Amino acid sequence: MNDIRGNLLLSGRTVVVAGATGGIGEGMTLTLLRQGATVVATGRSEERLAGLAAYAKDAGSGTLVTHAVDVGAPDSESVRARLSGYGALDGAVITIGDWGGPERTGILDTTTTEWQSMIASNLTSHFHALRALTPLLSRDGALVHLSGFSAEIPYPFSALVGATNAAKKSLVSSLTAELNGAGPRVYELIIGPIRTRPRAAIGADSPGWFSAEDLGRHAGRLIAGDSPHTAAPLQYLITRAHGVRTTPPE
């Protein structure tokens, strides 16, 4: 993984991380701070944001600002107004939503309530976040959006996760086409299982997985325009062995 490395590429730049208090968001936030960014970490819980601030206090030369706001809320105009004080953003990372729980339910046994809940938390919230954050980015900025590899493959007994990931991928790809080079760069990162602090705590860990910090380093390089993958709006980070790809691994 010689194209995922840390340095001060983001010194003087401001990056919003939506979902910063989650396992992936936390690791990405730490790495963006180490790259010198001013990171505006957003989340819905003041308590969890305070915990993130305590954990990241010695993370690096960047500056952490926490902001309690739900970027996935329906009133995107209000969200933009609350974040407008940071000026034109250089980057935004969206790592929100429902990555799926341990329960395994078949399509035919899924209730309408479960369906509607997943659509709201893992698709509609992303639509709202894209609508809120994209206009805040500078023309030369970059938005990095994360979706799971279930977007690409059958996902038996967790089909709602796969369906919403596939829909998110389509949504972001369409946004890229609509901007057509006239706005910020948009990246869809399709990811496999990711090493995070909460996962490690329950024994779910593998050295073959990318870590949340790896994702942060990669996102930082994309935002800075310093990656060999800068021109590729769709990228796959499934396992370390596969590396960073622009087509799905076989």
* pLDDT at residue 178, rounded to an integer: 97
Q: What phi and psi values does residue 66 have, to the nearest 5 degrees?
A: -100, 145
Cβ pair 190, 162 in contact under 8 A: no
- All structural domains of the chain, each given as residue ranges with its CATH number in brackets, are 14-245 (3.40.50.720)
The residue type of 145 is H
Alpha-carbon separation of residue 242 from 52, 111, 210 (angstroms) = 31, 36, 10
DSSP 152-171: TS--TT-HHHHHHHHHHHHH
Is residue 195 classed exposed, middle or buried when 0-12, 13-18 and 19+ CB atoms within 10 A define those classes? buried
Separation of first and last alpha carbons in the chain: 19
pLDDT at 100: 63
Residue 30's contacts (CB-CB under 8 Å, 6 or more residues apart) are: 55, 56, 59, 60, 213, 216
pTM above 0.85, yes or no: yes
Please list the pLDDT of the chain residue by residue as tens digits (250 residues). Answer: 334 445 799 999 999 999 999 999 999 999 999 999 999 999 999 999 999 999 999 888 999 999 999 999 999 999 999 999 999 999 999 999 876 667 789 999 999 999 999 999 999 999 999 999 999 999 999 999 999 999 999 999 999 999 999 999 999 999 999 999 998 999 999 999 999 999 999 999 999 999 999 999 999 999 999 999 999 999 999 999 999 999 999 8
DSSP state of 3: T
Is 83 in contact with 43 (CB distance < 8 Å)?
Answer: no
DSSP-derived 3-state class of residue 224 = helix
What pLDDT is recorded for position 99? 67
Q: Which of 186, 162, 159 is nearest to 174 (CA)?
A: 186
pLDDT for the residue 60: 85
CB 94 within 8 A of CB 129: yes
- Distance between CA atoms of 87 and 231, rounded to whole angstroms? 25
The pLDDT of residue 242 = 96
pLDDT of residue 3: 40
